[in-house]
Structure 1
Amino acid sequence: MKKLVASLVIILSICSVRSYSQEIDTIPINTKDLNIKLKRSPLPSRQGPLNFEPVKLKPYVVNAKVNYWKTRTNIGINVNQAQFSNNWKGGGVNSVAVGGLLNYKAEYNKNSYSYVTEVILQYGKVKNKDQLQKKTNDRIFWDNKASFQLSKNWFFFGSVSFESQFDNGYRYYRDNNTQEEQQVLISRFMAPGYLTESIGFEYKPVKYFSTRIGTGTARQTFVLDSTVYDGKTNVYGVDKGKKFRNELAFQVVSSFDKDIFPNTNLKARYLMFVPYEDITWSKIDHRLDIAITAKINRFMNTSLTGVMLFDADTGTNKIQANQTLALGFGFTFPR
């Protein structure tokens, strides 16, 4: 019995010690006689309360405007010259050729509305020894298009374009008696000139490709100089004695403009004009313009351009074509 009581007393003592040790978090230590030196904090300390005062900040207004216009200008100048001595046995003829190009494009985009205007001016001439001067290139083209977005890839558009040339164009032949080169005027500024208005729908799946479907298209062909008739009763589809001809048609215009390689750009434009008054293959006009421009350095580039044209109103039922390869100086703004 005594052993049982002693065991209970021991168990109760152990439990009370454990509960007491769990309640105590710290143990006081008497540091009166201990030599303890505390290190001084390097941070400054301030005695007393800290006072905070509000600071009034003047709002700064940024005077910034959103520019919805994007413009780009390309200028190209090409020069070619060849000179031979009188005793040069390899054959050849002295020649000088000069060509110039100006391409300006401005684009406005805001919400679902967009407007694009593009101007292309091209002119070139070549002079060979003992021959008349001849044009290598001559074009004025101005295209304006306003469109409203209907869905992700479809737009409703209206466009107006103008096309003509700067200088006189001639047909060349040699006189049977003197064998000298002669020329006959066949075209000049506004003879012919083309003004085209079109409305319809445009499909643009990506930025570099688009197709216009002009269901309502009107084209006026102008011949303002009667000297280009040269005895003919009809030139460029305009009867002699009249100044212009109006046509209603269905028109398709496809455009492609993309850098296909580093520093190499491919630009193509295809136009099909189908007059409603006579929908036959011989009366459908086709025009394909292709230009490949490769940049050599900051100021020099080389370009290969070509045009394929089928238009019975120009006086032939065959495909017409021209091609130009040039090396020259090119400037782009903004760079």
Structure 2
Amino acid sequence: MKIFYASFFLILVVSLNSASAQEVDSIPIDTKGLDIKLKRSPLPSRTGNLNFKAVPLAPIVVNAKVNYWKTRTSVGINFSQAAFSNNWTGGGVNSVALGGVVNYKAEYSKENYSYVSELILEYGKVRNKGQLQKKTRDRIFWDNKAAIQLSKNWYFFGSINFESQFDKGFRYFNDAAGVEREILTSKFMSPGYLTESMGFEYKPNKYFSTRIGTGTAKQTFVLAPNELFITPPDSVNRSESNYGVPKGKKFRNELAFQVVSNFEKEIFTNTVLKARYQMFIPYDRALSNIDHRLDITLTSKLNRLMNVSLNGVGLLDKDTDPKIQANQTLAIGVMFVFPR
């Protein structure tokens, strides 16, 4: 017990001494007047004034021009062929098909002014053994549009576009002897369409736009009116006009309200969907004569050159047929794009 009290007393004395030492160390000391020598810095020092002299610099002139144009050209070629031996029991017919498409697009954009020109050329044919050769694709389409930006998403535009075909078009039928015959239904500039339009365009983003053409004029040309037979010669419902142009005439002009919507976007990796819808409402005819046309192209790139494309067209034009007309093509081939 004595050892415990002795240890406790010793610890208490040491603690009191430590507290007393801390109180002494915390007392501020006045160093004024003390001769305290600081250790010299090992870094070199320089005394005196520093003189700066201006150095003349020759200006650098960059010889660069801003290019407000953006162009893109794609050329596609599709080919297919099938052959069968004479003793092939599975059935089939020898055939050769060749098609091509050229798509050129130029865009100019500076401040609030823009201009877009797009040219589409399509042509294709198929030849089956023992049959007449037939077209699979045939189109000339050239669209030009200039616009001035009014607000963030609205533009005032003026446009002009032309549409026709390269080659003659035929309707095919078999005569009484079972022989395949053809009747001429169309050719270059029979028909041909020239459309001028002005109005307002709504463009909320880069891949979608809608033109509202309040003032639209459309000229329809049939330069070979006496050669065409849109309906078979023996039909009792012979049309009194060629594509809306009265028989014996070569030209017709219409004023109308037009809506044109365009969509072009990469919906999947290396897969682009392009669609164009056009509605034409003539001012001088009933609303039942509204024309509709929808073009859809789905293109998927397989590698650097190969691609597969699916094209579809839906058309309702009562000047040519009271029912909806449609065509569809599926092709695989090579595609060259410039610039790469």
Length-normalised TM-score, structure 1: 0.85
Q: Is 1:273 equivalent to 2:280 in the alignment?
A: yes
Structure 1 counterpart SS, 2:66: coil
> What residue is the counterpart of 1:121 in the other structure?
121
Which 4+ residue blocks in structure 1 deviate beyond 3 angstroms? 48-55, 227-233
Which sections of structure 1, spanning at least 5 residues, go unmatched?
1-17, 30-38
> What residue is the counterpart of 2:307 in the other structure?
301
> What residue is the counterpart of 1:235 in the other structure?
242
**Is the CA contact (8 Å cut-off) linking 1:185 and 1:227 kept in structure 2?**
no
**Is the CA contact (8 Å cut-off) linking 2:225 and 2:242 kept in structure 1?**
no
Measure how far apart 1:180 and its partner are.
Answer: 2.1
Measure how far apart 1:242 and its partner are.
Answer: 1.4
1:236-291 per-residue CA deviation (whole Å, 9 max, x = no partner) reads: 0111221110000000000000000110000000000000011322x110000000
Measure how far apart 1:171 and its partner are.
Answer: 1.0
**Is the CA contact (8 Å cut-off) linking 2:71 and 2:107 kept in structure 1?**
yes
Structure 2 counterpart SS, 1:205: coil
Structure 2 counterpart SS, 1:321: strand
Measure how far apart 1:176 and its partner are.
Answer: 1.3
Measure how far apart 1:229 and its partner are.
Answer: 3.2
Structure 1 counterpart SS, 2:32: helix
1:90-133 per-residue CA deviation (whole Å, 9 max, x = no partner) reads: 00000000010111111111111111000000000000000111
Question: What is the CA–CA distance in structure 2 between the aligned matches of 1:139 and 1:320, rounded to whole Å?
Answer: 16
Question: What is the CA–CA distance in structure 1 between the aligned matches of 2:35 and 2:280, rounded to whole Å?
Answer: 97
Query: Which residue of the other structure, out of 32, 53, 62, is the alignment partner of 1:22?
Result: 32
> What residue is the counterpart of 1:317 in the other structure?
322
Which sections of structure 2, spanning at least 5 residues, go unmatched?
1-28, 234-238
Question: What is the CA–CA distance in structure 2 between the aligned matches of 1:28 and 1:199, rounded to whole Å?
Answer: 87
Question: What is the CA–CA distance in structure 2 between the aligned matches of 1:204 and 1:50, rounded to whole Å?
Answer: 63
Q: Is 1:99 equivalent to 2:99 in the alignment?
A: yes
Question: What is the CA–CA distance in structure 1 between the aligned matches of 2:226 and 2:81, rounded to whole Å?
Answer: 34
Structure 2 counterpart SS, 1:318: coil
Measure how far apart 1:175 and its partner are.
Answer: 2.4
Question: What is the CA–CA distance in structure 2 between the aligned matches of 1:206 and 1:188, rounded to whole Å?
Answer: 38
The residue type equivalent to 2:297 in the other structure is A
Cα distance change on mapping 1:49 and 1:150 into 2, 3 Å: closer
**Is the CA contact (8 Å cut-off) linking 1:229 and 1:240 kept in structure 2?**
no
Measure how far apart 1:183 and its partner are.
Answer: 1.1
- Which range is displaced more, 168-177 or 196-205? 168-177
> What residue is the counterpart of 1:330 in the other structure?
335
**Equivalent pairs, count:** 303
Question: What is the CA–CA distance in structure 2 between the aligned matches of 1:123 and 1:145, rounded to whole Å?
Answer: 25
RMSD across aligned C-alpha pairs, in angstroms?
2.3
**Aligned residues with identical type, % of pairs:** 67
Structure 2 counterpart SS, 1:61: coil
